[in-house]
Amino acid sequence: MSSQGLIHVIDDEPVIHDILSQLLTSEGYEVEISGSGEEALEKYTAQRFDLVLLDLLMPGMDGIEVLRAIKRIQPQAVVVIITAYASVESAIEAMKIGAFDYVQKPFKHEELLLIIARALEHKALQEENLRLRDELKRKFSFGNIIGKSKVMMNVFDLIKTAAPTRSTILVQGESGTGKELAARAIHQNSNRAGFPFIVVNSGSLPPDLLESHLFGHVKGAFTGAVSEKQGLFEAADKGTIFFDEISSIGMETQAKLLRVMQDREFMRLGGTKTLKVDVRIIAATNTDLEELIWQKAFRKDLFYRLNVIKIELPPLRERKEDIPLLVKHFLAIYAKENDKAIDGVSEDVLEILEKNTWQGNVRELENLIERAVVFAKSRTITRENLPEILLSPAKKAGDIAGDGLNLRDQTLAFQKRLIETALKKAKGIQKTAALMLDVKPTTLNEMIKRLGIDAGEF
């Protein structure tokens, strides 16, 4: 019979040695016995064990001291405490240090074997998660961006090439595609990695407050400016500023931002002193900036300054071969976070996930996997763990009963129907359809991709 695992019994009582040796070997485990903490640690430095059964009260080093020492040697060690005391305090202290569980003497054999089985299952899940993370990191990830599709490999190559340079970078992609992850990967793989990475949520502040945040202000610059304040450009000196959704910045602030990018200097609001900074700018948007330029809502000169290197992050529907990899990645994260042993998803669940359009992209998939892990009652994610809206057939655009009242779904369905009608009238010529819809051809092309329309049908 193959071994179920190597268990190290640390106890000073010979009778416990005999009982546990017979019990554990009869269940297929290998057993190593130590009569003291000192003897156990000497063995532990030379060998690793699958599980440790540790008595709390021993002469010399007590169980708490041994537990601390084991955790220093191997932080991931799985230790079950054996104690003859009804003292809750000692058990709680051991659990705080990192013991998996405890059992009191005299223990029932079935109870101990159940705890051992759970502890070894926990250890196997830990090791699988670590192995999976290492594999993902080694093969298919870059700065926590996961993917093995050709389009993502191209993104990884572009990030690796662009990161060491001083160039400004524009990251484009729909909401949920991982634009901030890409910006962080660029920063971490540049010579600025040891300096600040500061995120500016461009659309969350009114223009005057945004400028105060970016450039700082002097005392008395405006009502409420009771003291001098350093801005984010000063705080990010030698580092990186990431502008999340650059398109939401007002025209006046755009002009000041352009000046900083050109001259690498600025003044605090209300100030007269020129401050010089060395900051790399990475900007992100899910909007067509050229469309905004056409609408006179974005400066053309700022766009050219930002668009030195452009990184396009594809929507999840255009890299569906990455879905199994992303599912494994998120399962590993949320199974560990929720202390659950989950091996994967059923075949029909994976098929459902691969057929979904994922309007919220990777972020939407991540949220769904987290939810599924929480509701899972077995080692496999099944259909029962998915939300009803993912299992139900798509509603017709005109059906407003029940879930049909969802504003986003109805709006997207209407847009899709309208575009398909225009394409049909234009005999599939997108430029003509764009004129009918009064949008730029590039905007129409983006909407066709986003809504999953097969333009070749028309």
> What is the four-CA torsion angle of 127, 324, 353, 123, rounded to 10 degrees?
-10
Please tell me the least confidently modeled range out of 123-132, 162-171, 186-195: 123-132
Q: What percent of the chain has pLDDT over 70?
A: 91
Domain boundaries, the chain: 6-136, 141-312, 324-391, 402-457
- Given a contact cutoff of 8 angstroms between Cβ atoms, the answer to whether 328 and 125 are in contact is no
Tokens of residue 136, six digits: 């993902």
**141-312 matches 6-136 in CATH topology:** yes
Please tell me the least confidently modeled range out of 32-41, 209-218, 319-328: 209-218
Q: Which fold has domain 402-457?
A: Arc Repressor Mutant, subunit A (1.10.10)
Confidence of residue 401 (pLDDT cuts 50, 70, 90): very low
CATH number of 141-312: 3.40.50.300
Residue 386 has pLDDT above 60, yes or no: yes
Q: Is 408 exposed, middle or buried (0-12, 13-18, 19+ CB in 10 A)?
A: exposed
CB contact set of 298 (below 8 Å; sequence gap of 6+): 247, 251, 254, 289, 292
pLDDT at 394: 45
For domain 6-136, which architecture applies?
A: 3-Layer(aba) Sandwich (3.40)
Distance CA 91, CA 96 (A): 9
Closest CA to 143 of 154, 165, 120, 159: 159
How far is CA 29 from each of CA 26, 108, 268, 347, rounded to the nearest angstrom? 7, 18, 70, 34
pLDDT at 397: 37
Q: What share of the chain is helix, strand, coil (3-state, %, to 5)?
A: 50, 15, 35
pLDDT at 279: 95
How far is CA 142 from each of CA 67, 146, 159, 195, 239, rounded to the nearest angstrom? 37, 7, 9, 20, 20
pLDDT at 230: 84
pLDDT at 143: 67
The residue with greater pLDDT, 297 or 389, is 297
Closest CA to 237 of 205, 204, 266, 201: 266
Distance CA 379, CA 368 (A): 17
DSSP H stretches of helix in 140-178: 150-162
Report DSSP state, residue 418: H
324-391 CATH, one of 3.30.465.10, 1.10.8.60, 3.90.1170.50, 3.30.43.10: 1.10.8.60
Give the SS3 label for residue 12: coil
Report the largest interatomic distance among the alpha carbons of the chain, rounded to a whole angstrom.
Answer: 90
pLDDT in tens, 247-298: 888 888 899 999 999 999 988 888 888 899 999 999 999 888 988 898 888 9
Distance CA 368, CA 376 (A): 12
Residue 314 has pLDDT above 70, yes or no: yes
Q: How many residues can be counted in the chain?
A: 458
CB contact set of 379 (below 8 Å; sequence gap of 6+): 341, 342, 343
Residue 316 has pLDDT above 90, yes or no: yes
- Given a contact cutoff of 8 angstroms between Cβ atoms, the answer to whether 317 and 278 are in contact is no
Confidence of residue 411 (pLDDT cuts 50, 70, 90): confident
pLDDT at 248: 85
